[in-house]
Amino acid sequence: MSDTNETGLRTAILDAARHLITREGHRDVSMRMIARAVGCSVSSIYLYFPNKDSLIHTLIYEGFERWYEETLVISRLPVTPLERVEALSRRYIEFGLEHPEWYEVMYLFRPERVARYPKELYRRTRRSLDLATRLVAECDPERFRSEDDARVVLGLIWSLLNGVVSTILAGRLDSRIDREEYIEAAIAHTVEMVGRRVAAA
Amino acid sequence: MSDTNETGLRTAILDAARHLITREGHRDVSMRMIARAVGCSVSSIYLYFPNKDSLIHTLIYEGFERWYEETLVISRLPVTPLERVEALSRRYIEFGLEHPEWYEVMYLFRPERVARYPKELYRRTRRSLDLATRLVAECDPERFRSEDDARVVLGLIWSLLNGVVSTILAGRLDSRIDREEYIEAAIAHTVEMVGRRVAAA
Amino acid sequence: MSDTNETGLRTAILDAARHLITREGHRDVSMRMIARAVGCSVSSIYLYFPNKDSLIHTLIYEGFERWYEETLVISRLPVTPLERVEALSRRYIEFGLEHPEWYEVMYLFRPERVARYPKELYRRTRRSLDLATRLVAECDPERFRSEDDARVVLGLIWSLLNGVVSTILAGRLDSRIDREEYIEAAIAHTVEMVGRRVAAA
Amino acid sequence: MSDTNETGLRTAILDAARHLITREGHRDVSMRMIARAVGCSVSSIYLYFPNKDSLIHTLIYEGFERWYEETLVISRLPVTPLERVEALSRRYIEFGLEHPEWYEVMYLFRPERVARYPKELYRRTRRSLDLATRLVAECDPERFRSEDDARVVLGLIWSLLNGVVSTILAGRLDSRIDREEYIEAAIAHTVEMVGRRVAAA
DNA sequence: TATGAATGAGCATTCATTCAT
DNA sequence: GATGAATGAATGCTCATTCAT
């Protein structure tokens, strides 16, 4: 309650919700728990969010927004396109591990289950993805003449990176594996995927 | 209720629970719902499982068991080691997409959140992983002289495949990407990871 | 809780709800209050009624049922038709005053506001009304050749009697008026309405 | 908010409350809803009314006031006493049907449930009633030598008219009954009650 | 082996009201 | 005169679980 006043209740609620969700999963986090964590009454939450859904949507929205900004910074780095992709991969893993709350919250986004206000959310998701796709395409304009080709590769990269981050966050990484080595190997692979043609299926 | 008796109530409960969880998420599935789906009373479930947690643990356990059997079959295929790895990758994606119930249920497994009976669960997880690691190691005994090297690569493969499956299951695959192409590219990549040395970081 | 067991919880719930509604109005009666009055837990109520609406519908339904039985008895009295109408009027007022719970609960029935399961309720309402209409018609077959004529008169009678009962129950009867005299005058009037042609409009 | 200022916030609040209550019932109308309808803040309502109860009391009070004025006008009509009673009956039904808000709001008045400020309310109720009683008495000074006799008859008239109005407003009028015919028959009856001695009980 | 009855704790949400500004 | 922020208490309802039979 003390340091809450400084940043505003709305922000405090979002922070508490994000942390609790990361720890417990979003279905297990109740408005009561959030209120208790913030130190305000339950009904005060409803002063800032019309309902639980919208609170969670806000969280997801902010997660994507936040990652988009990271993507934007990287897209402007004065390095080679391939190095930009490498930076993007590295940053994605870092982002996920440094801010598991943001990462997990973005992962909550499930088109099928997130019912009520998803239109704007969709747009945000796409924005980051499209920018990243462009970064991939720039690496090899000849190979990625069609945007679709770049998209498939980006899709794989994204899957790999998500697999890596979620494996680590979930504590499922085999304890006999060295974490740094694992991460670096993943990044190296994403660079490979972009820089070299796959032997094809 | 009629054909339930043949296979046993316990099995019927597990089946119903698995399907419901896939459709609704495990937090949204209640004992009531399971009982209704099975056609028995709620309290009958407690004859076979001391509580909801243990029911879910059983589900996870069975998921890993099932996948272990698949892994076992592949490990005995009379083909080259590399082809076995390819088969493993393909089968993993197929398994996840064909049986989202099993897949999702395995994914429920979070050491931190699954509190009560995790010891045996851990062992099951490892068993599949170790077998798969061996399959990878056999592809290039020289490169994978140390088991750890194989483990890192398998970790990446597993991450990539999980990323692929979960992306598709969650409906998050960019609609502009062709699904089959995406899957085949992923499999091709896993083969690449094993068969060719990465350019290093 | 002691005398509850004898009659069954369901009945106890209905009784408590009926009394509370009479005292407080149906919007002011909560499931919690009913539970407290009965001496059971809130969730136990949901064992017998899927929701509050259906509990109230049951109450209304029973009220109409109960009154229908009264009507039926009167319709079989071995007296003149006019005396039957008189008996009906007298019994209606008595019924309302003796069982304000039943009476008020029937009055809750508002086609517009009672949304969910009103079909059967409608039928019950009509049943009593149609029987009463027949009783009126029998008083003067010549005058009430068309059923519609009897219906208008019955409608007026019903309005008068409802006005009388609700005025008394609401405590709005002018304290300078003698209650018995008032009631008898009302009954006399209903007989008049049926037995003598109105001077017309 | 713009045209609100002209008439005053207090009036705007009362108007909004009256309309909402008619549409939703007084228990379902919240201060929030009223504020939203008016276009002011919730707490502004508390500037004019100490609490919700007193707001509703004011509404009831005004309803009776309004009807009293109608009664007053009729009491001065230059026609025969009996025609005045007829006019009163007709006007009462009209008033109820034209202004269901006023009518319903008056009907909210229940001495038992309206706890806090009922003294003045009582007085208002009586005022209309006494005036109407006098109108009845004037029709037949000989028969209504005692005021009490007139009061009983007026009580019946009032009950009948209330029954008629509330039946129609509640949508409970049998759909096979012609509304105009029903109303005219009711009015005719009130005239009868006053103009002709009932056969007695 | 199977169940129906019962419950306490919890859920998201809404309410009338207060108070500092 | 007017408001925004805040809250405690209440609402209908669902849940996992227990227990006597």
Domain ranges of chain D: 1-49, 51-195
Residue B21 has pLDDT above 90, yes or no: no
Contact state of B192 with A198 under an 8 Å Cβ cutoff = yes
Q: What is the pLDDT of residue D82?
A: 94
Q: Which of B139-143, C166-170, D31-35, D92-96 has the lowest mean pLDDT?
A: C166-170
CATH tag, C52-195: 1.10.357.10
Contact state of C199 with D192 under an 8 Å Cβ cutoff = yes
Q: Chain B, 10-29: which have a CB under 8 Å from a chain A CB?
A: 25, 27-28
What is the amino acid identity at position B37? A
Q: Return the SS3 of B80.
A: coil
Among the partner-chain residues B151, B182, B200, the one whose CB lies closest to the CB of A177 is B151
**Which chain D residues are within 8 Å of C110, Cβ to Cβ?**
170-172
Alpha-carbon distance B152 to D41, whole Å? 62
Alpha-carbon distance A23 to A31, whole Å? 15
How much is the average pLDDT of D34-40? 93
Q: Is B197 on the interface with A (CB under 8 A)?
A: no
φ, ψ for residue B5 (rounded to 5)? -60, -35
C1' of E3 to CA of C59 (Å) = 29
Q: What is the pLDDT of residue B108?
A: 61
Q: What is the pLDDT of residue C117?
A: 60
Residue A190 has pLDDT above 90, yes or no: yes
Alpha-carbon distance D94 to D73, whole Å? 15
Chain B nearest-CA residue for A170: B110
Contact state of A188 with B201 under an 8 Å Cβ cutoff = yes
- Kindly indicate the confidence band of residue B116, based on its pLDDT and cuts at 50, 70 and 90: low
Q: Return the SS3 of B54.
A: helix
For chain A, the average pLDDT equals: 86
**Which chain D residues are within 8 Å of C191, Cβ to Cβ?**
199
Q: What is the pLDDT of residue A183?
A: 95
Q: What is the pLDDT of residue B7?
A: 62
Provide CB contacts within 8 A for C85, sequence distance 6+: C135, C136, C139, C157, C190, C191, C194
Half-sphere exposure (Cβ direction) of B189: Cα atoms closer than 13 Å: 29
Q: Is A164 on the interface with B (CB under 8 A)?
A: yes
What is the amino acid identity at position B200? A
Chain D nearest-CA residue for C163: D159
Q: Which residue is nearest to nucleotide F15 (CA to C1')?
A: B30
Give per-residue pLDDT as tens, A67-118.
999 999 999 999 999 999 999 999 999 999 988 888 877 776 665 555 556 6
Angle at Cα C97 formed by Cα C94 and Cα C103, nearest 5°? 100
Among the partner-chain residues B25, B151, B170, the one whose CB lies closest to the CB of A176 is B151
**Residue with tokens 């045996």, as numbered in its chain:** B120
Nucleotide nearest to D44 (CA to C1'): F2
Residue D114 has pLDDT above 90, yes or no: no
**Which chain D residues are within 8 Å of C170, Cβ to Cβ?**
110-112
Q: What is the pLDDT of residue C200?
A: 40
How much is the average pLDDT of D75-95? 95
How much is the CA Rg of chain B, to the nearest whole Å?
19
- Kindly indicate the confidence band of residue A171, based on its pLDDT and cuts at 50, 70 and 90: confident
| Angle between the N-to-C axes of helices D179-195 and D147-169, in degrees from 0 to 180, rounded to the nearest 10 | 170
Cβ neighbours, 10 Å, residue C8: 11
- Kindly indicate the confidence band of residue B41, based on its pLDDT and cuts at 50, 70 and 90: very high
**Which chain A residues are within 8 Å of B171, Cβ to Cβ?**
110-112
**Which chain A residues are within 8 Å of B183, Cβ to Cβ?**
none
Contact state of C152 with D181 under an 8 Å Cβ cutoff = yes
Q: Is A174 on the interface with B (CB under 8 A)?
A: yes
Angle at Cα B4 formed by Cα B1 and Cα B6, nearest 5°? 135
Q: Is A170 on the interface with B (CB under 8 A)?
A: yes
Q: Is D197 on the interface with C (CB under 8 A)?
A: no
**Residue with tokens 């007695």, as numbered in its chain:** D200
Alpha-carbon distance C64 to A85, whole Å? 76
- Pick B82 or C171 by higher pLDDT: B82
Smallest CA–CA distance, residue D139 to chain C, in Å, is 17
Residue D110 has pLDDT above 90, yes or no: no
Strands (DSSP E) contained in C44-200 are none
**Could you tell me how many CB contacts below 8 A there are between chain C and chain D?**
138
φ, ψ for residue B108 (rounded to 5)? -65, -25
Q: Which residue is nearest to nucleotide E6 (CA to C1')?
A: C44
Which two tokens mark C177?
Answer: 């008026």
Give per-residue pLDDT as tens, B121-168.
777 778 888 999 999 999 999 898 888 889 999 999 999 998 999 888
Chain D nearest-CA residue for C22: D113
- Kindly indicate the confidence band of residue D1, based on its pLDDT and cuts at 50, 70 and 90: very low
Taking alpha carbons only, the member of C61, C71, C198 closest to residue C134 is: C71
Among the partner-chain residues D112, D156, D173, the one whose CB lies closest to the CB of C155 is D173
Q: What is the pLDDT of residue B199?
A: 40
Chain B nearest-CA residue for A168: B159
Decide: residue A120, CB within 10 A, 0-12 exposed, 13-18 middle, 19+ buried: exposed
Alpha-carbon distance B164 to B187, whole Å? 10
Contact state of B159 with A163 under an 8 Å Cβ cutoff = yes
Contact state of A159 with B186 under an 8 Å Cβ cutoff = yes
**Which chain B residues are within 8 Å of A96, Cβ to Cβ?**
none
Ranges under pLDDT 70 in chain C: 1-7, 108-118, 196-201
C1' of E19 to CA of D43 (Å) = 10
Decide: residue D110, CB within 10 A, 0-12 exposed, 13-18 middle, 19+ buried: middle
Chain B nearest-CA residue for A24: B113
| Percentage of chain D modeled with pLDDT above 90 | 48
Residue A20 has pLDDT above 70, yes or no: yes
Q: What is the pLDDT of residue C198?
A: 45
**Which chain C residues are within 8 Å of D144, Cβ to Cβ?**
none
Which two tokens mark C133?
Answer: 């209409």
Q: What is the pLDDT of residue B197?
A: 53
Half-sphere exposure (Cβ direction) of C153: Cα atoms closer than 13 Å: 30
* DSSP H helical ranges for chain A: 4-7, 9-24, 31-38, 42-48, 52-75, 81-98, 100-107, 118-139, 147-169, 179-195
Q: What is the pLDDT of residue A108?
A: 64
What is the amino acid identity at position D55? L
Q: Which CATH class is domain B1-49?
A: mainly alpha
User: What CATH number matches the domain at D51-195, 3.30.420.10, 3.10.20.740, 3.40.50.620, 1.10.357.10?
Assistant: 1.10.357.10
First-to-last C-alpha distance (Å) of chain B? 60
Smallest CA–CA distance, residue A65 to chain B, in Å, is 17
Smallest CA–CA distance, residue A199 to chain B, in Å, is 7
Q: What is the pLDDT of residue A165?
A: 92
Among the partner-chain residues A153, A171, A186, the one whose CB lies closest to the CB of B156 is A186
C1' of F15 to CA of B150 (Å) = 46
Taking alpha carbons only, the member of B178, C84, D132 closest to residue A201 is: B178
Give per-residue pLDDT as tens, A35-67.
999 999 999 999 999 999 999 989 988 888 999
- pTM for this entry: 0.85
Alpha-carbon distance D12 to C198, whole Å? 46
Residue D27 has pLDDT above 70, yes or no: yes
Alpha-carbon distance D60 to A60, whole Å? 50
| Angle between the N-to-C axes of helices A52-75 and A9-24, in degrees from 0 to 180, rounded to the nearest 10 | 90
What is the amino acid identity at position B58? T
The CA-atom distances, in angstroms, between A26 and each of A13, A30, A56, A65, D130 are: 14, 8, 8, 20, 66
User: What CATH number matches the domain at A50-195, 3.30.56.10, 1.10.150.120, 1.10.357.10, 3.30.465.10?
Assistant: 1.10.357.10
Cβ neighbours, 10 Å, residue C22: 18
